[in-house]
Structure 1
Amino acid sequence: MAQKPTVFIDGEAGTTGLGIRERLLSLPVQIHSVDPRRRKDPEARADAMAACDLVVLCLPDKASREAVGMIDSMAASGGRTPKVLDASTAFRTSSDWAYGFPELSSDQPEIIRQAARVSNPGCYPTGAIALLRPLIDAGVVPSDFPVAINAVSGYTGGGRGMIEEQERDGGPPFLLYGLGLAHKHIPEIERHAGLTRRPLFVPSVGHFPRGMIVSVPLHLDLLNRNARAEDLKRILEEYYCDSAFISVCEAESTLIADALAGSDKMELRIHCNAQHQHIVLTARLDNLGKGASGAAIQNIALMLGVSPD
């Protein structure tokens, strides 16, 4: 029997790392761990990287860049170099890295499968790109359209500090942030959605652990090809018809943000007021599922050529 590929999660004690480790149990892989007392020891980490087929980086941006530098040094010295999946924002717009959104296009799964380095998408961009990319590719939404994106996420997306604050002190019921309009996910959304004009993006956090809704309001009369809501729905349905994770659902009068908590699925909807020619595109997902660890497992399976047991 062939030996199972080995995976090392650098930063496995964090929220995303723990989620990936749990989900890895569904794949035919071996998990290589470092003694918790040495998880920040560069030598122990380098040894673990050298011993594995794939390294998953669940680290802040600066630490991810340093870890990639360690792997580059291994390659320069002729050592065995693993594939890398990075969960930070450090490489999501880099032309040297494959973007880990398998549903981005028909050839994206093969790009990820062949890549040595893959960047895992952000949670907010996952929803925004899933809604916008098909419509821009179809020529219905102009690439230079002045897009505005609003989103609300569960507080687990804010990392350990926010989680502790929310669960210890109760936290605010609703927190609007990123009001400098320079959120670090904007370049990722712009690049991978196919936009040529920088979008407005205003994120927020609600007092619930997991879940997310990304919404994009549009004026129908400003779109190309005299598009109607049913045209947009058809485009999305055709784009994701083969996806096991993304579904296009009927519009609802209300949406609960945490309805997909614990799931790796994402639901897309088009809400329309035909009289006023207004629509709102929505994506609902779990910020720790399809928005993080669930997406990582999709990418790991492709990168290692394995399927769930």
Structure 2
Amino acid sequence: MSTPLVFIDGDQGTTGLQIQQRLHSRSDLQLVTLAPEHRKDPHHRAEAINACDIALLCLPDAAARDAVASIENPAVRVIDASSAHRTHPDWTYGFAEMHPQQAQRIAHSRRVSNPGCYPTGAIALLRPLIEAGLLPRDYPVTINAVSGYSGQGRAGVEAYEGPNAAQATPFQVYGVQLTHKHVPEIEQHSGLSQRPLFVPAYGAFRQGIVLSIPLQLRLLAPGVDARHLQACLDSYYAETRHVQVLPAAEGQALTHLDPQALNGSDDVRLMVCGDEHSGQVLLAAVFDNLGKGAAGAAVQNLDLMLGAL
């Protein structure tokens, strides 16, 4: 069998660079990128994507759609790191731990949409609880999340590391019109029947995410408390490789959450915190926005499609 040809389209963005770094020394695949003068040339891009076995698209949404439209070779398989196809019914959602059969679905799919960074944490927390009937599908979910500035892509890195870094805002909440493009993705893949309220922010650190979802126990199914939520997450992710669930005692003992705690890792860590006596619980996730939130997930999906996992 010949060595699989893997083409990265958009290898100079934050996610593309991370993927390239992770794959450049691999001997089980042949990595292809475009020369600088050809990166925006439609002919060279179409030629490269139609000649590869698997294409990794690290592009803006419109460019990703154009890249997919240029595919004429039916054998080409695609992993799209943009948000262009994350709710598309013909694409497999690339969160391998989302469902017991999801890794198999990814492995056999021709079109895989890599999850967004924030949705990875939100779906990891919400979906098991909704499937178990512990969290109503119509619960009024609020999601608060803070990402490192690399989540803005090259513009964010330039703003915080470039010549005008001293003028960069230390902390900024954005998406205040509540129309963030990740919301439909979270709603669909978590199993919610109502649109969640999502409030994202950027901090003055390069990478890492802390995401939290407050819950009022009185709005959950009768008798449900933090122990039920913890047990559900423990069971759901017991056999998974990249989702950690913090033990209950450690979650209750936490005094703060560090968004950078899992930087350099391809894992996401889930926690159940809060004061149960007040009838309130906090679900939380910490992970690297460039790891499990982007490049790490893309390489995991690639390995599944190559049969390496």
TM-score tier by shorter-chain length is over 0.9
Q: Counterpart of 1:258 in 2: which secondary structure?
A: coil
Q: Across the two proteins, how many residue pairs are aligned to each other?
A: 300
Deviation of the 1:227 alpha carbon: 1.0
User: How many Å separate the matches in 2 of 1:117 and 1:291?
Assistant: 19
Residue 210 of structure 2 is aligned to residue 213 of structure 1: yes
Residues 173-188 of structure 1 correspond to what in structure 2 (within 5 A)?
Answer: 173-188=170-185
Show the counterpart of 1:306.
Answer: 308
State the 1:3 CA deviation: 2.1
Task: Tell me which residue corresponds to 2:199.
Answer: 202
Look up the match of 1:258.
260
How far is the alpha carbon of 1:26 from its aligned partner?
4.9
Aligned-residue CA RMSD (Å): 1.2
Report the 3-state secondary structure (helix = DSSP H, G, I; strand = E; otherwise coil) of the residue aligned with 1:135: helix
Q: How far is the alpha carbon of 1:242 from its aligned partner?
A: 1.1
Give 1:33's aligned amino acid: T
- Secondary structure of 2:122's match? helix
* Shift, 1:125, TM fit: 0.2
Deviation at 1:305, TM superposition (A): 1.3
Deviations 1:197-230 (A, max 9, x none): 0000000000000000110000112111411111
Q: TM-score, normalised by structure 2?
A: 0.94
Counterpart pick for 1:108 among 99, 102, 110: 102
Q: 1:123 to 1:27 in 2, by over 3 A?
A: farther
Residues of 1 paired with 2:28 and 2:236: CA distance?
30
Q: Equivalents in 2 of 1:306, 1:33: separation in Å? A: 22
User: Which string of whole-angstrom CA distances, capped at 9 and with x for unpartnered residues, describes residues 20-72 of structure 1?
Assistant: 1122245721101222221111121122112211001000000001101101x
Residue type matched to 1:270 in 2? V
Change (3 A) 1:174 1:233: same
Q: Within 5 Å, which residues of 2 pair with 1:1-309? A: 2-24=1-23, 25-26=25-26, 28-71=28-71, 74=72, 79-168=73-162, 169-170=165-166, 171-249=168-246, 250-251=250-251, 252-307=254-309
Give deviations 1:71-117, integer Å, cap 9, x for gaps: 1xx1xxxx454101100111000001000001111111111111110
Letter in 1 for 2:12: A
For 2:52, the aligned partner's letter is C
Whether contact under 8 Å (1:28, 1:306) holds in the other structure is no
Give the direction of change, closer, same or farther, for the CA distance of 1:164–1:303 in structure 2 (3 Å limit). same
Q: Distance in 1 between matches of 2:274 and 2:172?
A: 27
* Structure 2 unaligned blocks of 5 or more: none
Instruction: Summarize deviations over 1:256-299 as a string: whole Å, max 9, x none.
Output: 11111111111000002022011100000000000000000111
* Structure 1: segments with no counterpart, 5+ residues: none
Separation in structure 1 between the aligned mates of residue 78 and residue 179 of structure 2, nearest angstrom: 28
